[in-house]
Amino acid sequence: MIFDFLKKRLNSFRYAFAGIKELWVKEKNTRIHMFFTISAIAAGFLLKISPLEFALLILTIAAVWGMEAINSGVERVVDLVTLEKKPLAKAAKDLAAGAVLIIAMASVIIGLIIFLPKIFQLFVLNFS
Respond yes or no: is residue 53 known to be catalytic: no
Instruction: List CB contacts of 56: < 8 A, sequence separation 6 or more.
Output: 110, 114
Residue 121 to residue 128: CA distance in whole angstroms: 10
Is residue 57 within 8 Å of 111, Cβ to Cβ? Answer: yes
The structural domain count of the chain equals 1
Residue 103, domain extent: 2-127
pTM score, whole prediction: 0.86
**Closest CA relative to residue 113, chosen from 28, 47, 31, 17:** 47
Q: Which long-range contacts (CB under 8 A, 24 or more apart) does 62-66 make?
A: 63/103, 63/106, 63/107, 64/33, 64/100, 64/103, 64/104, 64/107, 65/23, 65/33, 65/37
Annotated catalytic residue within 22, 27, 53, 68: 68
Specify the CATH number for the domain of residue 69.
1.10.287.3610
Q: pLDDT tens digits for the chain (128 residues)? A: 777 888 888 889 999 999 999 999 999 889 999 999 999 999 999 999 999 999 999 999 999 999 999 999 999 999 999 988 999 999 999 999 999 999 999 999 999 999 999 999 888 877 66
